[in-house]
Amino acid sequence: MADNNIQSITSKLWAMANELRGNMDAGEFKNYILAFMFYRYLSEHQEEYLVTNNVIDIPKGKTPNEVYMAEAAGDDLADYLDDISSMLGYAIAPKDTWASLNERIDNAQVIPSDYQTIFDNFNKNAELNKEAVQDFSGVFNDINLGDSRLGASTTARAKSLNNIVKLVDDIEYKAENGKDILGEIYEYLIGQFAASAGKKGGEFYTPHQVSKILAKIVTNDVKENNKSFTVYDPTMGSGSLLLTVGNESPHGKKTGAIKYYGQELNTTTYNLARMNLMMHDVTFNNMNLNNADTLENDWPDGPDEKGIDHPRSFDAVVANPPYSAKWDNTKSKLKDPRFSDYGKLAPASKADYAFVLHSLYHLNNSGTMAIVLPHGVLFRGAAEGKIRQTLIEKNYLDTVIGLPANLFYGTSIPTTILVFKKNRTNKDILFIDASNDYEKGKNQNTLTDANIDKIIATFKDRQDVDKYAHVASLAEIKENDFNLNIPRYVDTFEEEEPVDLQEVKKMLVQDNQEIAKLEAEIAEQLKILGV
């Protein structure tokens, strides 16, 4: 389905959602509509599994849900739920399926407690498959069924939830060619909610154009014949950046070839990421997501070929962490292997380099890391200057890319992408100044495909480009005291055309003559009026 058709569907959905949410903030309302979209997806995905794998036989004149209701009853229910959860990682009982819920709504049989019961049952059944508990348990816990803005009474709130269910049920999620586009609609809505949420939107969503740059960079050296590909985002937000990396990887179309890893502090956003990945056909055994503070709780170790735990490393690491966030930089952190090799800790008021070092620690020796940060990391001194110098001397920093201002939700500041590699043989650093290449918008600037292609082509070519890019030697970096401020390396100054003083003088004479003529005409008119 074409993008404009998806936008047509989502625009209609967005307009109707705004009517339903009343006085509820868009950022909070998203928890309801996106969660119900996910519940519909899970239920219909389960139904597809039951039919295509001949778990149930559908006689003529019967729906899959009717057969499931009849067969998975009584003592047989537990066996059905065990079978389903062993394959899908979750299981939904017959009376709780999306079809059953809609039927009850249509027949005015929903009571206020039904929604809580449905989600409680889901959490209970999520415990059946121990390998998938982390992926499904509590995924709907952010739905505040008692929020008074849904209605003043339990009955009114149930009615509001019914309206959301019916709105989600009306979504056309199949393209003309039969392709499931529900994941694309879901992703589009996440972007819309992020835009409406203002500053808070930046906490869970990286603009897709920026995600594409990071994704194209970290997959640039990936070969399709590689057996598998792992990507990690330590501040994953809604998971959109992880999915973009998957789409850019040559493994993107191979089922199970990409393993997604991510960590997110905000529980609501963590739940959003779990939903987002699964609605894009990432199965529970191909993703490992944690709800934790990345700087306080390092990513868990993983076993090597001999079963011995060691720090987990990945083929690609991408991140768009909170800019200049506060963190606990007590001296004990210097014993943390993530930070111990750099002599200094990032300041308590600016955790930018703490995120850099954490991410770099988990990058394998042949991989690529790309992280978005504020420009201050390029030139700030003291501890940050020392860390920056050590990173350069270790020859880890590969590229510095300056982006335009006002690209991100919640902040108008210009940002930079830092690219790191551990296996570099060259000792120079590529600087790209893309700060002037963008499409201006009413509230926010955007990058066009041409802008992105120019950045990536320059990244690959690694050559000087007049007023756009420069490959700086280590000696040049040292001359600048390891200051990476982009204007020191890329001169974007445009000389003004020389002024023709004689022409200016001539134009001044003409202006004076015209002024004198107008003054004379005004004086004549005033004389006629007797003034």
Same domain flag for 432 and 309: yes
Strands, DSSP E only, in 298-422? 302-303, 309-310, 314-319, 363-374, 397-402, 415-421
**369 domain residue, yes or no:** yes
Q: Residue 452 carries which DSSP code?
A: H
Handedness of CA 84, 86, 88, 91 (dihedral sign): positive
What pLDDT score was predicted for residue 175?
A: 63
The tally of domains found in the chain comes to 3
What pLDDT score was predicted for residue 336?
A: 92
Among 127, 161, 188, residue at a domain's last position = 188
| CATH code of the domain containing 153 | 1.20.1260.30
**194 domain residue, yes or no:** no
**457 domain residue, yes or no:** yes
Q: Would you say residue 33 has pLDDT above 90?
A: no
- The set of residues, in sequence order, having a beta carbon less than 8 Å from that of 518 and lying 6+ positions away, is none
Same domain flag for 246 and 114: no
What's phi and psi for 138, nearest 5 deg? 75, 10
The region of weakest confidence among 14-28, 67-81, 83-97 is 14-28
The region of weakest confidence among 106-120, 138-152, 272-286, 302-316 is 302-316
What pLDDT score was predicted for residue 17?
A: 74
Same domain flag for 49 and 165: yes
Read off the tokens for 428. 């120079």
- The set of residues, in sequence order, having a beta carbon less than 8 Å from that of 46 and lying 6+ positions away, is 84, 88, 90, 91, 92, 97
- Residue 82 — pLDDT band, cuts 50, 70, 90? very high
- Residue 201 — pLDDT band, cuts 50, 70, 90? very low
Distance CA(388)–CA(401), nearest Å, equals 16
Same domain flag for 156 and 239: no
Distance CA(342)–CA(53), nearest Å, equals 55
Interval 379-403 mean pLDDT: 97
Same domain flag for 404 and 516: no
Same domain flag for 483 and 505: no
Nearest to 451 by CA among 467, 435, 462: 435
- Residue 1 — pLDDT band, cuts 50, 70, 90? very low
Q: Are 296 and 312 in contact (CB under 8 A)?
A: no
**75 domain residue, yes or no:** yes
- Residue 363 — pLDDT band, cuts 50, 70, 90? very high
CA 229 to chain centre: 19
Q: Are 489 and 470 in contact (CB under 8 A)?
A: yes
For the question of whether the overall pTM of this predicted structure is more than 0.75, the answer is: yes
3-state secondary structure 83-105: HHHHHHCCCCCHHHCHHHHHHHH
Read off the tokens for 351. 């955790």
Same domain flag for 227 and 329: yes
What element of type H or E holds 424? none
**339 domain residue, yes or no:** yes
pLDDT (tens digit, 9 = 90+) per residue, 131-180? 999 999 999 998 888 888 888 899 988 998 999 999 889 887 766 666 66
**91 domain residue, yes or no:** yes
pLDDT (tens digit, 9 = 90+) per residue, 290-345? 999 999 989 877 655 554 556 789 999 999 999 999 999 998 899 999 999 998 99
Quick one: what percent of the chain has pLDDT higher than 70?
Answer: 90
Average pLDDT in the chain: 87
- Residue 2 — pLDDT band, cuts 50, 70, 90? very low
What element of type H or E holds 77? helix 76-88
CA 368 to chain centre: 18
Interval 124-132 mean pLDDT: 94
Distance CA(393)–CA(134), nearest Å, equals 40
Interval 246-267 mean pLDDT: 86
3-state secondary structure 209-277: HHHHHHHHHHCCCCCCCCCCEEEEECCCCCCHHHHHHHHHCCCCCCCCCEEEEEEECCHHHHHHHHHHH
Q: Would you say residue 213 has pLDDT above 90?
A: yes
Q: Using CB atoms within 10 A of its CB, is residue 406 exposed (0-12), middle (13-18) or buried (19+)? A: middle
Interval 448-458 mean pLDDT: 96
What pLDDT score was predicted for residue 457?
A: 97
Interval 98-117 mean pLDDT: 94
Same domain flag for 77 and 33: yes
Among 163, 188, 213, residue at a domain's last position = 188
What's phi and psi for 65, nearest 5 deg? -70, -35
Distance CA(145)–CA(155), nearest Å, equals 11
Distance CA(450)–CA(469), nearest Å, equals 16
Same domain flag for 100 and 164: yes
**308 domain residue, yes or no:** yes
**277 domain residue, yes or no:** no
What pLDDT score was predicted for residue 176?
A: 63
Domain that holds residue 170: 3-188
Read off the tokens for 240. 């959109």
- Residue 486 — pLDDT band, cuts 50, 70, 90? very high
Same domain flag for 39 and 130: yes
Same domain flag for 128 and 244: no
| CATH code of the domain containing 212 | 3.40.50.150
Distance CA(330)–CA(162), nearest Å, equals 50
Q: Would you say residue 56 has pLDDT above 50?
A: yes
The region of weakest confidence among 83-97, 155-169, 222-236, 370-384 is 222-236
Same domain flag for 417 and 326: yes
Q: Helices 98-106 and 26-52 meet at what angle, rounded to 10?
A: 110
Q: Are 348 and 329 in contact (CB under 8 A)?
A: yes
Among 138, 167, 188, residue at a domain's last position = 188
Quick one: what percent of the chain has pLDDT higher than 90?
Answer: 58
Q: To the nearest 10°, the Cα dihedral for 263, 267, 272, 278?
A: 60
